Structure 1
Amino acid sequence: MKVQVQVRLKPGVLDPQGRAIHHSLEGLGFSGVDDVRMGKLIEIDLADEVSDEQIHEMCRKLLTNMVIEDYVICRIAQEEPA
């Protein structure tokens, strides 16, 4: 089983990387960009018996800073070998 964990800063938390990207886009002439928020994507290959609760526990204990970040878990369909 493969999962993706999308980690984002919680609303209201300052995002210096997002601001730098926003500023750079404006400097390159891109208009219409109202805001940029930077996050991270973590892909994990797991054994089929790993439970959803175990995945959430991984996120809470290691993959995110629960004080300033939120996360979303997405299961990725794996292609069957031909």
Structure 2
Amino acid sequence: MPTIVVDVMPKPEILDPQGKAIAGALPRLGFTGFAAVRQGRRFELTVEGEVTDEVLAQARQAAEDLLSNPVIEDVVNVTVLAEAAPAGEPVPAEDAEGQNA
């Protein structure tokens, strides 16, 4: 069954204490060269049947109305995991307006 992936991130003006904590831990663990970290959330919606433009539009609407808090978060990505793609590599899908989501 196809899967739609929705990524939600805090708006740039919102403080991200988890991201700051991770950014502070990275150099202590030997990971250098990273200036900042922002932590978001990922949702995977399993689709029954084919992913159509209507299904993508519903996923985007669900992301904006239910999966995110529009006051402090942005829906930054809505993609379809193609069956032929290697695991974990999203394939961009067009949203209801015909643009890459």
TM class, shorter-chain normalised? 0.7 to 0.9
Report % sequence identity: 37
Query: Alpha-carbon deviation of 1:13?
Result: 1.2
Structure 2 regions of 5+ residues with no counterpart? 85-101
Aligned to 1:31: 32
Candidates 54, 57, 60, aligned match of 1:53: 57
* Counterpart Cα distance in 2 of 1:30 and 1:45: 34
| TM-score normalized with structure 1 length | 0.82
Query: Alpha-carbon deviation of 1:10?
Result: 1.4
Structure scoring higher RCO (CA < 8 A, sep ≥ 6) equals 1
Aligned to 1:70: 74
| TM-score normalized with structure 2 length | 0.68
Matches within 5 A, 1:7-18: 7-18=8-19
Q: Which has the larger radius of gyration?
A: 1
The superposition leaves residues 26-70 of structure 1 with CA deviations (integer Å, 9 ceiling, x where unpaired) of 222433210001011111101236522211121122111111111
> How many pairs align?
79
* Counterpart Cα distance in 2 of 1:11 and 1:55: 23
